[in-house]
Each structure stands twice: as structure tokens, then as C-alpha cells.
Structure 1
Amino acid sequence: MKKTLLKTVFIVMGVLLIGGTSSCTSKSENASTQNALSSQQNEADIIDENPLTNLIKGNERFVSGKLVHIHQDSLRVKELTEGQHPRVVVICCSDSRVTPEIVFDQGLGDIFTIRTAGNVMSDYEEGSIEYAVEHTGAKLVVVLGHTSCGAIKAMLDTKEGETVPGHIASIVDALKAETEEKEALEKGGEALPYNAVKANVEHGVKQLCNSKPILSEMHEEGKIKIVGAIYHIEDGKVEFLDI
């Protein structure tokens, strides 16, 4: 009698466990489906059609601490195996405190990033930008400087006739040769550190707008937009300049 009762109990428990597991699996699958649908819906709400507006909104999220971390999952990794189509090219400083994908709250495949100390550009960088706008379809090019830039500080601290060690000298020399920087240096004043950063960004924007034959033509034909901006490391805000 006891054996029969125990057997019955085990059978009932087995049925309940199987049913419970099935129910949990079903709930888990439904939750995953809901999350996927919600993610797609949120993506449509988050991504602005205008790439510049999209960056501005992303930086606002970064500053306010309301990050959405879009395009930062395994699904995005899989999507990008088909190719890349970034909407924006960002040329910025190599400074570890200035990471475009983070300060603009973007993800994998969203920004074609080019980084050099002091965002100094030569043929290599211009060629990379040409590739981005011609072959990946990016429509916006942002030259992004930042406050407390080490390269700018090195330039300001290097007096006439002084030499800078190693290859850093080439960066300082490139900055000193910029017409906009010369004007900022002549003006001087307490605002010089900021004005020197701004002058460098202005130079970068003009350099790309006049880069023949590809970038200048695409800019003149309205196929791409080239803008300048400054990232403020003090508060995380990106200031877009009217150049």
C-alpha cells in the first residue's frame, strides 16, 4: 500500500515538474520575444534620421546618465558580418577620455572613428575619410577636438626655438603651422587654451572642405556635411561649432 502511494506521489510530482519546466520555458521564450520587439521599437524611437541630431541626442543621454547602449549586443555583431554602413565619421584626438561611441551613446558600426593625437590629419587620415564617405556611405564628418588636449598643451608650452623630443615634435610642428593657431597665439589671453583647441578644430574642418578631389567635391555637392565640435572633459558635453 505504501509502495503504491509513493509511486503515485512520484508520478504526480514528475508531471508537475515537467509542466512547470514547460511553463517556465514558454515564459522565457515569450520574454525574449517581447524584449526583441521592444528593442526594435526603441531603436526606431532612439535613432534620428538626421545623423547630426542623432549625435546631439546621444550626447544629451550621456551627460544626463540616461544611456541606452544601442547596438552593443551579439545581435549587432551578427548584423555587421554583412558589412558596415556607419552614418558618421568622427576624427578626434587619441586621448583616452574622448571615445566617440561612448560620449555620443552609439554602438558597433555606427561611427567610423579616426583618432590621432591632437586630431592632426595627413594623407593617411584623409584617405580613410574618403573611404568612409565613398564606400560605407557616411554622410556626416565631425572634427572633434577637446578641452585639456595634451597635444595642444604641448604646443602652447613649447617656446620659440625649443625642441620637443621624438616624433611628438612632428605633431607640435603641425599644430604651430596652422594659420588658425597662429592667430590664436597672437591674440593670447586667458582664453588661449580653449581658443587654441577651437582654432585646431576650425583648421581641421577647412582642411577637409578643401581636400581635393573627393571630399571637397562631395561637400560642395551636398553629399556630405563637415562640421566641427569640442568635447568638454569637465562635464561630458559636446559643443558643436558654427564654422
Structure 2
Amino acid sequence: MKAHTKETQASLTPEMAFQILKEGNIRFANNLKVNRNLLQQLNETSEEQYPFAVVLSCVDSRTSAELIFDQGLGDLFSIRIAGNIVNDDILGSMEFACKISGAKIIVVLGHSRCGAIKGACDNITLGNLTGLIGKLKPAVARVREPATNRNSKNSEFVENVARANVFQTIANIKHRSAVLREMLENYQIAIVGGMYEIQTGMIEFYQRPEILDCSRNEPGGLVGVVNYM
């Protein structure tokens, strides 16, 4: 399989890009990966690159975007940070990827059993990690139940916080980046949330690109959840 060109990237809609990622994850989870000549893709992308998607995921060693979406060299802009949060540098990277380089979709990807989320649930403090954990605490607060046992020993609570954090991150992207917000409103890009299950390899996506709305605060603190498999 060849790397994307300017023409193939331009031909994709956000919905088409989303479908490519969904199908790639299904292949990965079923060990049916596409046969790629990575050396060929290396040569094809040595002068220019035309990735079709941006994936913001965690630094967890089990969440490599290229692997779990079954993509090759030159297909994805991969941004990784503990807890899949955003800051100014990450937002700038997304703006570069979409506005300048032509990516059609942003995926905010949380995952099960996330260590950063557990740290936020336990109110961990440790050097520079303290500040990062602080950015995850709004997601903890958004999950209103249970009133007790709100710590990493409560696995259901941890997973609910991880989901809430995905929607919190999407809302932050829309609120803090006028560039991406305008592209989203004009349907030049889509922003999609998902949760990767480290035991099965499957991703649960929370919304279709065309109906994504993270401006509404729903009961329970989650935002615009629509299951879409």
C-alpha cells in the first residue's frame, strides 16, 4: 500500500477519513493488518507528507496510533501525552496538521486502565507530573457518582473519568482554537472521541463526525455521547 499523496488526501472528506480509521482498527483487533512496504513508504514520504488524520493519544506504551489504526508511514500526525490532554503547543500542532498540512480529522483517543487518569483519581503529586495531573482533575469532577470510593481502586469510576476526559479535551480544543473551530464549523475537519480497550484492541467511538457537538454539557458531566461502532 502506497503512502497518501496530495491528491488522495484532498479527495477525502472527514467522514471518509473516519471510516478509514474505523476499518483500520477492526483489522488490527482481528490481526488482519494490511501488507505494507514500509521502505517504499519511507521513500515516498521523504520529500513531502500528506497525512489524513491527527490522533491525540496517551503516552502509554500500548496505544501506538499507527498500530491500532493499522496505518503506515505518512498517514497520521500522532500526538502523544499522558492523559491525552491539550495545551498551547499541542493545539498549535493540530492547527499545523489541519490548516497547513491538510489533515481531515482529529481523534481524541483515551484508553482503559490509564495510569494518568488513575493518578488524577488518587490526587497524585510528583514533580512536574503534578501540573499535568491538575489538567485531568476537571474530568474527575465531571463524574459525579459515586460520592465515595472516588479513587483508582474503583475501576468503573476510573473508566468513567477517562471517558469524561475525552470529551473535556474535545471541548477544550473547540474553545481554545479559533482556527480549528472555524474549520469544524465549515466541515473542513471533524473531531471525534474514542476509547481504546487495551484488552481487546477495539476502539469505541462516541460520535459521528457530522453530529459532533461538544458545546453542550449533558447531565452527569459527559458531553454529547453517541455510541457509534
**What is the TM-score normalised by the length of structure 2?**
0.78
The amino acid across from 1:198 in the alignment is R
The residue that corresponds to 2:141 in the other structure is: 182
Query: 1:36-55 maps to which residues of 2 (within 5 A)?
Result: 50-55=16-21
Shift of 1:69: 4.1
Question: How many angstroms apart in 2 are the aligned matches of 1:94 and 1:130?
Answer: 21
Pair 1:198 & 2:156 matched: no
In the TM superposition, what whole-angstrom CA distance separates every residue of 1:89-131 from its partner, at most 9, and x where no partner exists? 0000000010010001100010101000001210000000000
Q: What SS is found at the alignment partner of 1:138? A: coil
CA contact (8 A) 2:65 2:78 kept: yes
2:25 corresponds, among 53, 56, 59, to 59
Unaligned runs of 5+ in 2: 3-8, 208-223, 225-229
The amino acid across from 2:29 in the alignment is V
The residue that corresponds to 1:171 in the other structure is: 132
Pair 1:119 & 2:84 matched: yes
CA contact (8 A) 2:121 2:140 kept: no
Query: 1:1-243 maps to which residues of 2 (within 5 A)?
Result: 50-70=16-36, 72-158=37-123, 164-176=125-137, 178=138, 180-184=139-143, 186-188=144-146, 191-242=156-207, 243=224
Shift of 1:78: 1.1
The residue that corresponds to 1:8 in the other structure is: none
The amino acid across from 1:173 in the alignment is G
Question: How many angstroms apart in 1 are the aligned matches of 2:35 and 2:174?
Answer: 32
Bigger Rg, which one: 1
Question: How many angstroms apart in 1 are the aligned matches of 2:90 and 2:169?
Answer: 11
The amino acid across from 1:181 in the alignment is V
Question: How many angstroms apart in 2 are the aligned matches of 1:187 and 1:218?
Answer: 35
Question: How many angstroms apart in 1 are the aligned matches of 2:60 and 2:177?
Answer: 29
Question: How many angstroms apart in 1 are the aligned matches of 2:117 and 2:58?
Answer: 10
Question: How many angstroms apart in 1 are the aligned matches of 2:181 and 2:91?
Answer: 11
Q: Structure 1 stretches (4+) deviating beyond 4 angstroms? A: none
Shift of 1:211: 2.6
Shift of 1:66: 0.8
The residue that corresponds to 2:211 in the other structure is: none
Shift of 1:204: 0.9
| Structure 1 residues 212 and 64: CA distance shift in structure 2, 3 A | closer
CA contact (8 A) 1:208 1:226 kept: no
The amino acid across from 2:25 in the alignment is N
Q: What SS is found at the alignment partner of 2:131? A: helix
CA contact (8 A) 1:69 1:105 kept: no
Question: How many angstroms apart in 2 are the aligned matches of 1:226 and 1:210?
Answer: 13
Provide the identity percentage.
36
The amino acid across from 1:187 in the alignment is E
Aligned residues: CA RMSD: 1.9
**What is the TM-score normalised by the length of structure 1?**
0.74
Question: How many angstroms apart in 2 are the aligned matches of 1:204 and 1:100?
Answer: 17
